[in-house]
Amino acid sequence: MSQEQVYSDAGFGQSVPRGTRPAIVVVDFSYGFTDTQYPTAADMSAQIAATRSLTDKARALGLPVIYTTIAYQPWERDSLPWLKKASGMAALLAGSRLVEIDAATGIQPADPVIVKHGASAFHGTNLAGLLTGASVDTVIVTGATTSGCVRATVVDAVQSGFNVLVPRDCCADRAEAPHEANLYDMNQKYADVTDAADIAVWLDSLA
């Protein structure tokens, strides 16, 4: 039996309903992830450009665009379990350039920036309340990394009651294998994995 058949027989891979009030959450396109002078980063220029094509459109339609960054205080470096497992993340100190959103994303002064201390953009933040307050019913998740913070955000978005879309060409990772494996798994269980062109057409249909 094929892998696709196994998932289909188990009832996975159904289509996600699309609402009428989407928001775009751009996960961790900060310099610590996007500027390759830092060891925690990778070249994400293509994914940033694809994401920007959507965020520019969303703003023009009056839809929320929200960014996230990971930023730690010095005292957290020795106390958080995640930083013992992923010690490179300890370089993401509050106030440093590494935690600033990459200007190539086209971030605007009015765009909210959620500061998080773990993988999910929902855990320990006010993101769910921000989305609910804006009457959002569908969350488009982009950013980095696909296998880490994007996936964690997608799972928590579903668990927070939102329909979720993931444009694959707007998500970046440090390696191809975890990128593809997690896109596949998210598409089966939590979100519709699509692309920027499809999302753009849908956003235009809402105008």
pLDDT at 11: 64
User: What residues in the chain have per-residue pLDDT under 70?
Assistant: 9-13
Task: For the chain, list the domains and their CATH numbers.
Answer: 20-205 (3.40.50.850)
pLDDT at 143: 98
Residues in a beta bridge with 139: 23, 164
Catalytic residues: 149
Cα separation, 165 vs 177, whole angstroms: 21
pLDDT at 52: 98
CA nearest to 50, candidates 105, 132, 121, 95: 105
Residue 64: what residue type?
P
Positive or negative CA dihedral for 30, 36, 37, 41?
Answer: positive
What's the predicted TM-score (pTM) here?
A: 0.95
Q: CA distances (Å), 77 to each of 20, 25, 49, 85, 114, in order?
A: 41, 26, 32, 11, 19
The string of pLDDT tens digits covering residues 152-180 is: 999 999 999 999 999 999 999 999 999 99
